[in-house]
Amino acid sequence: MKAILVIADGLGGRPTDFNGKTCLEAASTPNLDELAGKGINGILYPIRPGVRPGSDTAHLSIFGYDPYKFYTGRGVFEALGVGMEVKEGDICFRTNFATIKEDFTLLDRRAGRIKEGTKELENALHKLDELYKDVRIIFKASVEHRGVLILRGRNLSHQISDADPHKTGVKIEGAKPLVDDDKAKRTAEIVNRIIKESYRLLKDHPINLERKKKGALPANVILPRGASIKIKMPSLKELYGIKGIAVAGGALYIGIARAVGLEIRKAEGATGRADTNVINKMKVAIEGLKQADFAFIHIKGADSCAHDRDAEAKIRFIEKIDEGIGYLMDNVDWGETHIAFTGDHSTPIAFGDHSADPVPIVISGPNVVKDEVKEFNERSALKGGLGKINGNVVPILFGYCDWLEKYGT
């Protein structure tokens, strides 16, 4: 058997999205509707009811890993995702290039979603490594405004707060220790010094001077958040005896895939943005399944559109996903393949952020008993035979492939 999991980031929504409909209901999705008609449908709480999931914790839960046990923060997955070596004891952060005023008032958390020049800004930030003799400071830019920061040294702790205030119009107060501990206090002080030094290094950088000349927001500071450490996780191969691959563009999703032992496959045009090439991701996954048992495909764009509160853009991107699903359905062997399609969380347009609302899910394949659902959306999924599930999509999917060990005798 072969198994495919497709996660459309931020897929779910609310009737307030677009003229009384969710974006998924408003979009034209003939291929997803066909997939729903071929399978069993239901509602997925990515973690459990009443929990607002992050993309990181949601993915862990969907893969069958208890996030309350295996999650220490997002930074470590971002670091793995951009190809950084993570050593025992490293403190890893995800970061944003952001825009601040001279008095450190935050104007934009994403520096206008900067897309170009971040490699040059990264090179300027290499000087951060000169701040301390006993602590390595390693920075790497990722996709758009995103980046990764690693602190490597003794007497450090991941028990510190985010330096990012998560809202604009306020002054950056910096990171604070979350425990009464000298290691945490020292780490917070180091992070706060890094923030101030990053502003000094970036505020007059040629990239930013050019951006200001063009009327764009300068990327004049980095804001670390999601402090974390690496902990041991059993791989999917160890748990189920299968070989898996992952096709994704965003660093977080590549990092989570690496953490669970999946081999990363690159697709041309996979950007981790709304301009990503969905068809190429499907092609790479199908090709990879010639040697692998399982393929994980992550598609980001719908979430970005929803964070921007752009319903029409999210609808268009969902329709782009639908085209990719059509290609996938046309090119798999339905006699041996099970496909699960869902989202990692809902991102309603009016809210503009992740919500605790569930997302629709469908699983199709030869061993699946079909239900009566004929459309794929939040409302139709309520009638599905799968009912309501909490995470654990991968174990359920693998169950249809007969890959699970028996519990008991």
Residue ranges of domains in the chain, CATH in brackets: 2-70+232-400 (3.40.720.10), 79-228 (no CATH)
pLDDT of residue 330: 97
pLDDT of residue 272: 75
Buried b (16+ CB within 10 A) or exposed e, 212-230: eeeebbbbbbbbbbbbbbb
SS3 378: helix
3: pLDDT strictly greater than 90: yes
Q: Which residues contact 12 (CB under 8 A, 6 or more apart)?
A: 22, 24, 343, 345, 346, 347, 348, 355, 357, 358, 359, 360, 378
Per-residue pLDDT tens digits for 337-372: 999 999 999 999 999 999 999 999 999 999 999 999
With cut-offs at 50, 70 and 90, classify the pLDDT of residue 90. Answer: very high
DSSP string, 255-287: HHHHHTTPEE---TT--SSTT--HHHHHHHHHH
**Average pLDDT, stretch 77-81?**
94
| Tokens 């989570």, located at residue | 256
Per-residue pLDDT tens digits for 225-282: 999 998 889 999 999 999 999 999 888 999 999 999 999 999 999 887 788 899 999 9
Q: What is the largest CA-CA distance in the chain?
A: 71
**Average pLDDT, stretch 67-95?**
94
**Average pLDDT, stretch 199-223?**
97
Per-residue pLDDT tens digits for 287-304: 999 999 999 999 999 999
- Distance in angstroms (rounded) separating the CA atoms of residues 343 and 8: 5
Structure tokens belonging to residue 347: 């991102």
Average pLDDT of the chain to the nearest whole number: 96
pLDDT of residue 273: 78
pLDDT of residue 144: 87
Per-residue pLDDT tens digits for 371-380: 999 999 999 9
With cut-offs at 50, 70 and 90, classify the pLDDT of residue 80. Answer: very high
Structure tokens belonging to residue 42: 């239901």
pLDDT of residue 270: 85
% of the chain at pLDDT higher than 90: 95
Q: What are phi and psi of 45, to 5 degrees?
A: -90, 110
**Average pLDDT, stretch 38-56?**
97
SS3 239: helix
% of the chain at pLDDT higher than 70: 100
